[in-house]
């Protein structure tokens, strides 16, 4: 009976502490949790910035290991090929400026589909090219990775 009373006393004290009654412990700060759409948008922004600065390290953060890159004329460079090319030109701006527009993000469980337009402007002569882009992201071990990129040029 004594142990039971002691147990109940400890349990009540612990419950009061957990509920913050009489506690002098500092409160735990919480930070806003980003939605999947916000995370995907951030990854797209990082991808665009990496393209503008040929940041090869960004490829490992953003692309899945089995990344598939589909271009208008067929398969485009793989993750490994992109990394090698970008390392050779690390930090150098490409010969074009690139902007995005009309981005739409669709979250489908552990898959996200992003569709938008890109406009490339050649720095040398001002020529402009338009590209429709579709990206497919999947969650790998809790982190979003770009798995498939498909692009096609349009007038």
- Is 14 inside any structural domain? no
- Is 24 inside any structural domain? no
- Is 4 inside any structural domain? no
For 114, the domain range is 34-154
Mind listing the pLDDT tens digit of every residue in the chain (155 residues)? 444 443 333 334 444 444 444 445 555 666 678 899 999 999 999 999 998 888 999 999 999 999 999 998 888 999 999 999 988 888 888 888 899 999 999 999 999 999 999 999 999 999 999 999 999 999 989 999 999 999 999 87
Beta strand residue intervals within the chain, DSSP E:
63-71, 74-75, 96-108, 111-122, 128-140, 143-154
> Which string of b and e fits 131-146 if b means at least 16 CB within 10 Å?
bebebbbbeeeeebbb
- Is 28 inside any structural domain? no
Q: Tokens 């009373």 belong to which residue?
A: 5
Domain of residue 104, CATH code: 3.10.450.50
pLDDT of residue 27: 56
pLDDT of residue 89: 86
- Is 103 inside any structural domain? yes
SS3 call for 34: coil
Helices (H) and strands (E) in the chain, counts: 4, 6
SS3 call for 88: helix
> For the chain, how many structural domains are there in total?
1
CA distances, 126 to each of 33, 72, 119, 131, 155 (Å): 41, 22, 12, 16, 15
pLDDT of residue 10: 38
- Is 21 inside any structural domain? no
> Could you give the CA distance from residue 110 to residue 136 in angstroms, rounded to a whole number?
11
């Amino acid at each position: 009976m004594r142990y039971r009373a002691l147990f109940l006393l400890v349990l009540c004290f612990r419950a009061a502490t957990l509920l913050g009654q009489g506690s002098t412990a500092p409160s735990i700060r919480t930070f806003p949790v980003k939605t999947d759409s916000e995370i995907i948008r951030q990854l797209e922004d990082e991808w665009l910035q990496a393209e503008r600065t040929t940041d090869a390290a960004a490829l490992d953060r953003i692309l899945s290991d089995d990344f598939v890159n589909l271009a208008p004329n067929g398969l485009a460079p793989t993750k490994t090929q992109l990394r090698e090319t970008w390392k050779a030109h690390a930090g150098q701006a490409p010969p074009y400026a690139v902007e995005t527009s009309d981005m739409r993000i669709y979250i489908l469980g552990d898959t996200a589909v992003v569709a938008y337009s890109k406009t490339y402007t050649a720095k040398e002569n001002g020529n402009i090219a338009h590209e429709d882009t579709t990206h497919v992201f999947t969650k790998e071990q809790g982190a979003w990775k770009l798995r498939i990129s498909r692009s096609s040029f349009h007038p």
